[in-house]
Structure 1
Amino acid sequence: MKLKALFLILIFSLSLIVGCTNNQTTPEPAPTQQPNPSNETPDAVTTASIVDNAEDFEKAISNTGTWIIAVTKDISTNKELVLDGEFKNGKKDDAGKDIIQRKIALYAQDSNRNITARYTLTAPKLTINSPEASIQHGTFKGDLYVSAKNFKLVDATVEGNVYFTNEDAQSTFSMDENSKITGTKGMAK
């Protein structure tokens, strides 16, 4: 009887600990990423960077930053920004290869992945040099210069112009039906 009671207390305690554990993880510092001229395999796999100010945002979008940059409020800067570096998102594709991805998440979500808030990033210019990058569920105010392949807007608004610096960037760009660009879209001059 005592063994059964001890077992039930142990099960209850474990359930309580697991149920009360916060699923939100603190971002780990990103490893330093070296340039990758061969474009074979990225040098870094990182976790998310959660930011609420321009200085931390700039660090997170650098080539030593993280694969996902999640903002927690509107951010504004008068500096020109550059999303740089090639990153793995920690997942594998159907062939078992690491998935390359970079995401600027301008939103908050609940545990069921419902969007609970949308944020605005304001800068005079944002250049996208990271391949497989996206801006999702928020607004960028400024001009966007896309130099990397497969950049996409997902339920996002660009209040400004979108310029492509090369044909590959332009031909592989995509945006869903919920996204919009208020300015012009075309090749940079």
Structure 2
Amino acid sequence: MKKIFGLMLVLVMTATIFAGCAKEEPVVEETPEVTEEITEETTEEMTEEEVDAVSTASIVTEGDALVAALSADGFWLAATLNDIVLEEDLVVEGEFTNRDEIARKIGLYTQDADRNVLERFTLTAPSMIVRSENFRLQGGTFVGDVYVEANGFHLVDNTIEGNLYFASQEYMDSRVEDETGVVTGVVEVK
């Protein structure tokens, strides 16, 4: 447990150092596939060829890095470490895989090695436009309207403080129901 915490602390500190030295490029950290426990041995065994945008995660603390992580050139998973406010719409697009299945996810929370949620965060934007299939909005709160333009939308342990619109009945019918997801506004085809 201490090794994992220490590793995460080193990653965050490294990101902070790079953020201070970077010109205007957003800092995006790559981590091993999140389906495995991250240990010192895991990071030492990884080669550059094993890390790719299809199966790696992006841990972000700034809006620009989040936008980049969820773009078509981003990562299958974006995880935040704090609240983030965006002035423009957030567009989630591109096809990514996790465990050889099409998947995309944003995690607005942190967790321990046993996957217990430690902190939840709020992401605020005028709207989120989802164009990635099997997108999972998990943990925390999204403040704004969500427009779904893809199959398999999944709301897990998250509150949308706004409306949830689907571009077609097909997209709405393909959503994965989860009783832990809450929408304060309307849920409809628009």
For the aligned pair, the TM-score class normalised by the smaller chain equals 0.7 to 0.9
Shift of 1:179: 1.4
SS at match of 2:30: coil
Shift of 1:172: 0.7
Q: 2:162 aligns with which of 160, 166, 187?
A: 160
Pair 1:173-2:175 in alignment? yes
Distance 1:148 1:107 in 2: 24
2:151 aligns with: 149
Shift of 1:28: 3.2
2:134 aligns with: 132
CA deviations over 1:83-137 (Å, ceiling 9, x no partner)? 0000011x1xxxxxx2111001000001111000000100001011000111001
**Could you tell me whether the CA contact under 8 Å between 1:44 and 1:88 is conserved in 2?**
no
Shift of 1:175: 3.3
Shift of 1:78: 1.4
Shift of 1:46: 3.2
Indicate how the Cα distance of structure 1 residues 110 and 168 shifts in structure 2: closer, same or farther if over 3 A, else same. Answer: same
Distance 1:121 1:154 in 2: 15
1:20-99 equivalences in 2 (<5 Å)? 20=3, 24=8, 27-28=29-30, 45-89=54-98, 91=99, 98-99=100-101
Shift of 1:20: 5.0
Shift of 1:167: 2.0
After superposing on structure 2, the runs of 4+ consecutive aligned residues of structure 1 that deviate more than 3 Å are: 19-29
In the alignment of these two chains, the number of paired residues is 150
Pair 1:106-2:108 in alignment? yes
Distance 1:20 1:120 in 2: 28
Shift of 1:49: 0.3
Distance 2:73 2:79 in 1: 16
**Could you tell me whether the CA contact under 8 Å between 2:30 and 2:59 is conserved in 1?**
no
2:72 partner amino acid:
N
Percent of paired sites with the same residue: 42
1:150 partner amino acid:
G
Shift of 1:166: 1.4
2:164 partner amino acid:
V
Indicate how the Cα distance of structure 1 residues 28 and 178 shifts in structure 2: closer, same or farther if over 3 A, else same. Answer: closer
SS at match of 1:175: coil
Q: 1:182 aligns with which of 178, 181, 184?
A: 184
Give the TM-score taking structure 2 as reference length.
Answer: 0.73
2:154 partner amino acid:
K
SS at match of 2:173: helix
- Which structure has the larger Rg over C-alpha atoms? 1
What's the RMSD between the two structures over aligned residues?
2.0
- Give unpaired runs (5+ residues) of structure 2: 12-28, 32-51
